[in-house]
Amino acid sequence: MSTADGVDGPLVVGIDSSTQSTKALVVDVATGAVVASGQAPHTVTSGAGRESDPDEWYTALRTALAQCGDAARRASAVSVGGQQHGLVTLDAQGRPVRPALLWNDVRSAPQARRLVDELGGAKAWAERFGSVPGASFTVSKWAWLAEHEPEAVRATAAVRLPHDYLTGRLTGAGTTDRGDASGTGWWASATEAYDEDVLGRVGLDPALLPRVVGPGEVAGTVHAADGELPFAKGTLVAAGTGDNAAAALGLGLLPGTPVLSLGTSGTVYAVSRRRPTDPTGTVAGFADARGDWLPLACTLNCTLAVDRIAALLGLDREAVERGGTATILPYLDGERTPDLPHASGLLTGLRHDTTGGQLLQAAYDGAVHALLGALDRVLDEDADRSVPLLLIGGGARGTAWQQTVRRLSGRAVQVPEARELVALGAAAQAAGLLTGEDPAAVARRWDTARGPVLDPVERDEATLRRISGVLSGGAPLLEGA
């Protein structure tokens, strides 16, 4: 943690409420310098589903802000970036009815398949909503809740996404933004509005949903100075957005620049001026936080899955060894890309001379393979393939991750020095309220994407073919596991 000593200009706060923790950054609007920071963890259940108590997110937010000290009290604006897709149900007093169903809870896979069929199939969904819903999407989770916990549905007076919940705790109002709304499955990208047909099919009253705040609009102001938060009453609150859209803001992305994020999940995305409609469902056609689009592909199993394989082998996560014939598909929590929500991990090609290091490298290869396979679908046809791939997230600084992405992509890789890009994107959005700038332009002015560029290496076609062959031959076995 640092302090704001010597900073005379306006300050803003950017918040990242992720699956595992809440982080807060106090940022100098003029320079982009982080003058204070804080972080506090969340608890996530690990039983049949993945759930978290929204009240714990707010407690973590208060703790993270308290660690920022006087700098947070000087902030003129604040914005929240949060994990996408999560279903938050609130009662008439604004209290959580039950723990939130998180994005990586895949229990609603049957409901997702049913919804796709009821509305005319994947192509119809893609054309209307931009995405084909899977178990991660909020609409599927609401359908699951209605089927399995009807008493919780009856007690629900408001439905929110994770970032909406925290923004509402700041403002006292119910708002969201187009970026996060586009991941629900009930906001149609074709009309940029809630879709009453889908809401009717899942029995959700549109009056329970938040108002969608437009890019650059103020969501509200801090509604009370009650000692729980450091902000003065009347402090501006930006719309906020989902974590990937916030990271895109944090990088100041221009159309056509691809991003590969290595975190709890793995994602690959790029800003586009064209509304995405991928009927295969590989690419989710999200909106971004500015008025453009953010086509994105996501895997459930990324850094945590590879770390688990390393732990099972008793190896450091960097102890990889090239060579061998082993292939690992590390689908330890089911999978989203490819769409195999009930899958388990698969190891094949094991021989007497296979080493532990080769098995660990195979886990890295399996985790990266699906994301790179979706890259061409994410990028527009006229995108410049020589532009370096921006590598971000918790795994981006790991040598094994960097080398695997370079070897399987054949592209130059740039690793931004900035670490907390979701929180920085939220801060840039808050700064835009004060300066009138495009938040992405604010981030470019802050030079947030600055970092070393690793030259391209020859693409490892043999490994890519081997993994593709195993996936095409093993998918039925995986899904029935």
In the block, residue with structure tokens 């103020």 = 218
What's the rounded Cα separation, in Å, for the pair 81 and 72?
A: 17
One-letter amino acid identity for 426? Answer: A
What's the rounded Cα separation, in Å, for the pair 184 and 160?
A: 10
Hey, what's the torsion of the CAs at 155, 157, 160, 165, to 10 degrees?
Answer: -100
Catalytic residue among 16, 243, 292, 438: 243
What's the rounded Cα separation, in Å, for the pair 415 and 393?
A: 10
Q: Is 431 left (phi over 0), alpha (psi -120 to 50) or beta?
A: alpha
What's the rounded Cα separation, in Å, for the pair 46 and 382?
A: 43
Give every CB contact of residue 284 below 8 A, 6+ residues apart in sequence: 130, 131, 183, 276, 278, 295, 296, 297, 298
288 is catalytic: no
Pairing of strands 259-262, 266-269: antiparallel
What's the rounded Cα separation, in Å, for the pair 12 and 6?
A: 16
One-letter amino acid identity for 194? Answer: Y
Is residue 125 within 8 A of residue 116, CB to CB? The reply is yes
Which helix H or strand E contains 294, and what residues bound it? strand 293-299
One-letter amino acid identity for 360? Answer: L
Q: What residues are paired with 132 via a beta bridge?
A: none
Q: What residues are paired with 391 via a beta bridge?
A: 260
Give every CB contact of residue 479 below 8 A, 6+ residues apart in sequence: 340, 342, 343
Q: Which of 153, 148, 155 is nearest to 48 (CA)?
A: 148
Instruction: Classify residue 206 by its DSSP letter.
Output: G
Classify residue 441 as exposed, middle or buried by CB count within 10 Å of its CB (0-12, 13-18, 19+). Answer: middle
Active site residues per annotation: 243
